[in-house]
Homo-oligomer: A and B are copies of this chain.
Amino acid sequence: MSDTKFVLSEKEIPRQWYNLAADLPKAPLPPLGPDGNPISPDMLAPVFPMNLIEQEVSSDRWIDIPEEILEIYSMWRPSPLYRAKRLEKLLDTPARIYYKNEGVSPAGSHKPNTAVPQAWYNKQFGIERLTTETGAGQWGSALSFACSLVGLECKVFMVRISFDQKPFRRLMMEAWGGKCIPSPSTATQAGRNILEQMPDTPGSLGIAISEAVEAAVTDESGKTRYSLGSVLNHVMLHQTIIGQEAKKQLALAGEKKADVIIGCAGGGSNFAGLAFPFVLDKINGEDITIIPVEPASCPTMTRAPFAYDHGDTAGMTPLLPMHSLGHNFVPPPIHAGGLRYHGMAPLVSHAIELGLLEPLALHQLECYDAAVKFARTEGFISAPETSHAIAATIKEALKAKEEGKEKVILFNWSGHGLMDLKGYEMYFGGQLQDYALPDEEIEKSEEILKTYPKPVIV
């Protein structure tokens, strides 16, 4: 048997999450409130439980993972690390390609890595119900799964067009007991306002966030909080279990170091989860290239300014220091729904500003082509988001071939595409097109973002 899969025992699951904020050469900037001043933890208390707020603002390097969370993690963790030998052979590359398989979770992606601790900490804090939003349904299903195991109610506002067109992830939520509501809905003021103005709107992630936040903060019992699946510091934190495991597994595979780390990035969490433990190595002087990959149609990292902006369309969230196309930006309807977000996690954005990352934007046809090559060699069918990481990996592997270098490339296989086969159908049928965002759109975003305070890293 060849060494193509590297498995850790349950006892080797990392016992702590890694907080990159503790090691950044320059301190991250705080979120700002409506008055333009940094917000205090207390101001977030109606939205999140205090134990998660503490993680959000923590500068501790390591944060212990509670035993009960480790127990649930152990359902699918440690996730396997694979060597992509058949893909290497197809590419005829001297590079050694590894991928971390996060598709093995019951929800099929990396999302449960943070859904479970978020549900658990809320439960600990006496919360009885979580609200959240979801686009294509990946996050809503992960949180429904987590709430079901921990014993919380879960209410998910799902963008209406996805609710209607993609019933399967909604059904996953319902199988786990989650309540899924098409957004905009009449259940919130924000939803009612939108419906009055635009009764036929297909909805948007921004609107759904506004509804979920409102539903949490207006619940008079005080037992409801809101949960977000990406962007925030504590979400990145929870995901670092991926990169920590990968390091141990690379060692098992006999690799002294990784040369290139790759992940797709929408809000930033699966990328950060794999990459942040390696960013520390880079900060400590190791020669390592770290690449977050985004769609060319939503080029937050490669073309949008680093600015203060809201996380949601309605402007209910604090201002976050991040690469943003503007909270009013509506990304084109590419199939990688999880990469259609106007902003980028503040910690990822900050690391870009410090020159620690080398973001890359790719077109979707190249990504689907990569995913099909991957399916026919490595055997796994990838989520459209994940296909971006594969395409970047193939680029790097071919570069290594040109250079004649034996590079070690590691990417995050963030999820399977079994619920996303419609995109493959359109790709095979020649119905997909590439789309690069026109410069005018970027300029429009810059104009709007100028009205907010300018983030300055010192």
- Assess whether A381 is in contact with B106, with CB atoms less than 8 Å apart: yes
- Copies of this chain, complex-wide, total 2
Taking the closest CB of chain B, its distance from the CB of A147, in whole angstroms, is 10
Give the contacting residue for A106; candidates B167, B380, B419; CB below 8 A: B380
- Assess whether A149 is in contact with B379, with CB atoms less than 8 Å apart: yes
Taking the closest CB of chain B, its distance from the CB of A167, in whole angstroms, is 7
A45 to B176 alpha-carbon distance, docked (Å): 49
Instruction: Return the CB mask of A156-168 against B: 1 if under 8 Å, else 0.
Output: 0000000000011
A149 to B374 alpha-carbon distance, docked (Å): 11
- Assess whether B71 is in contact with A1, with CB atoms less than 8 Å apart: yes
- Assess whether B376 is in contact with A424, with CB atoms less than 8 Å apart: no
A138-185 interface with B by 8 A CB criterion: 145, 148-149, 167-168, 171-172, 174-177
Residue of B nearest to A9 (CB): B7
- Assess whether B418 is in contact with A168, with CB atoms less than 8 Å apart: yes
A5 to B372 alpha-carbon distance, docked (Å): 32
Taking CB atoms, residues of chain B closer than 8 Å to A381 are: 106, 172, 175-176
With contacts A1-B10, A1-B74 known, what are 17 further pairs, Cβ within 8 A? A1-B13, A4-B71, A86-B149, A104-B104, A106-B380, A148-B376, A148-B379, A149-B379, A167-B425, A168-B421, A171-B421, A172-B381, A174-B425, A175-B371, A175-B372, A176-B379, A177-B376
- Assess whether B418 is in contact with A418, with CB atoms less than 8 Å apart: yes
- Assess whether A1 is in contact with B376, with CB atoms less than 8 Å apart: no
Q: Does A253 contact B (CB under 8 A)?
A: no
Taking CB atoms, residues of chain B closer than 8 Å to A425 are: 167, 171, 174
Residues of chain A whose beta carbon lies under 8 Å from any beta carbon of chain B:
1-2, 4-5, 7, 9-11, 13, 67, 70-71, 74-75, 82, 86, 104, 106, 108, 145, 148-149, 167-168, 171-172, 174-177, 371-372, 375-377, 379-381, 418-419, 421-422, 424-425, 428
A108 to B429 alpha-carbon distance, docked (Å): 25
Q: Which of A11, A172, A376, A379 has the most CB of B within 10 A?
A: A379
Taking CB atoms, residues of chain B closer than 8 Å to A75 are: 4-5, 82, 379
Residue of B nearest to A70 (CB): B1
Taking CB atoms, residues of chain B closer than 8 Å to A171 are: 421-422, 424-425, 428
Give the contacting residue for A108; candidates B7, B13, B86, B418; CB below 8 A: B418
Taking the closest CB of chain B, its distance from the CB of A179, in whole angstroms, is 12
Residue of B nearest to A174 (CB): B428
Asked if A172 meets B421 with Cβ closer than 8 Å, knowing A67-B1, A379-B75, the reply is: yes
24 A–B contacts from the bound complex (CB under 8 Å) = A1-B13, A1-B67, A1-B70, A1-B71, A1-B74, A4-B74, A4-B75, A75-B82, A104-B104, A148-B375, A148-B376, A148-B379, A168-B421, A171-B424, A172-B421, A174-B424, A174-B425, A175-B372, A175-B421, A175-B424, A176-B375, A176-B381, A418-B418, A418-B419
A86 to B2 alpha-carbon distance, docked (Å): 36
Residue of B nearest to A382 (CB): B175
Taking CB atoms, residues of chain B closer than 8 Å to A371 are: 175
Taking the closest CB of chain B, its distance from the CB of A387, in whole angstroms, is 11
Residue of B nearest to A75 (CB): B379
Taking CB atoms, residues of chain B closer than 8 Å to A86 are: 149
Taking the closest CB of chain B, its distance from the CB of A48, in whole angstroms, is 24
A371 to B71 alpha-carbon distance, docked (Å): 22
Taking CB atoms, residues of chain B closer than 8 Å to A376 are: 148, 175-177
A1 to B15 alpha-carbon distance, docked (Å): 11
Taking the closest CB of chain B, its distance from the CB of A189, in whole angstroms, is 29
Taking CB atoms, residues of chain B closer than 8 Å to A5 are: 10, 74-75
A419 to B171 alpha-carbon distance, docked (Å): 11
Taking CB atoms, residues of chain B closer than 8 Å to A168 are: 418, 421
A1 to B67 alpha-carbon distance, docked (Å): 6
Taking the closest CB of chain B, its distance from the CB of A416, in whole angstroms, is 8
Taking the closest CB of chain B, its distance from the CB of A400, in whole angstroms, is 24
A70 to B177 alpha-carbon distance, docked (Å): 39
Residue of B nearest to A177 (CB): B376
A380 to B428 alpha-carbon distance, docked (Å): 31
Taking the closest CB of chain B, its distance from the CB of A66, in whole angstroms, is 11
Taking CB atoms, residues of chain B closer than 8 Å to A70 are: 1
Asked if A2 meets B375 with Cβ closer than 8 Å, knowing A168-B418, A174-B424, A425-B171, the reply is: no
